[in-house]
A and B are shown apart, each in its own frame.
Chain A
Amino acid sequence: MKEVSRPGQESYFELLLSAILIGVTCMWLGSCFVIHDAYYVDRQVYYTQNPFSPNATGTDYISKAFRSVAFVSAQLPLNATDRSVMEDLHNQTNQTLINLKRAVTNAGGFMRNVLKVTVYLLVQLVDDAGYRERA
């Protein structure tokens, strides 16, 4: 004799299947969101505010960090203590490197981990024959 299921008995099984499907779907969606969040966080660019940047540069930030690389920019020969600027290239280079070192440290790095430095010199200095002879 064929067993006749009572009304609603199949729906329990369907409900169970649905619940499993919904659970699996939620887990999958959740993992997507987690991956998406992680992806987004990795994509974030972190800025470090520059307390020493002069207004003249129009730069409010000294570094941008992307994952494990920071970009430190706009380092100028400005003494952070008295905001003075030396006249000669030697002292200006020295002061700029002091500022660069501070910026690198503020960004969470060390000077030994600096990969690349770009030095901008006034083109008159680079072209100056007298400077070349002195150097």
Chain B
Amino acid sequence: MMQDIEKEPEVAGIFSQYFEEASFPAATIIGVADLPIIEGKQALVSMEAFVALP
């Protein structure tokens, strides 16, 4: 399941705090069945990114 991040306003809203509007990256959300359990708590979100290095 893949969708545009703007369809998830809660995540997109937090994104806008970390990325300037002019350099907002392409972002997709993928629904996955499982994520790691850390310190006994379920991780609800995980991220990965491609970065252009200067």
Q: B-contacting residues of A (Cβ < 8 Å)?
A: 54, 56-57, 63, 65, 68-78, 83-85, 87-90, 92-94, 96-97, 100-101, 104, 107-123, 125-127, 134-135
Contact = CB atoms under 8 A, between A and B. Distances in A.
Contacts, number: 191
A104 B51 CA distance: 7
Contacts of B27: 116-119
A71 B42 contact: no
Contact of B54 (A56, A96, A111, A113): A113
Nearest to A113: B52
- Looking at chain A's contact residues, the main secondary structure is mixed
15 contacts: A56-B38, A70-B51, A70-B53, A74-B48, A84-B39, A88-B44, A93-B14, A100-B47, A108-B53, A109-B53, A112-B20, A117-B25, A119-B11, A119-B30, A135-B9
Contact of B49 (A57, A104, A112): A104
Pick from A75, A78, A112 the residue with the most CB of B within 10 Å.
Answer: A112
B36 A121 contact: no
| Interface bracket on B | 35 or more
Contact of A97 (B15, B33, B39, B43): B15
Contact of B30 (A88, A111, A120): A120
Nearest to A134: B10
B20 A89 contact: no
A120 B35 CA distance: 8
A129 B19 CA distance: 28
Contacts of B28: 117-119
Given A122-B35, A126-B1, A72 B51 contact: yes
A76 B15 contact: no
Given A109-B52, A126-B29, A134-B10, 11 more contacts: A54-B36, A71-B51, A72-B48, A75-B49, A78-B38, A111-B23, A115-B26, A117-B26, A120-B30, A126-B3, A135-B10
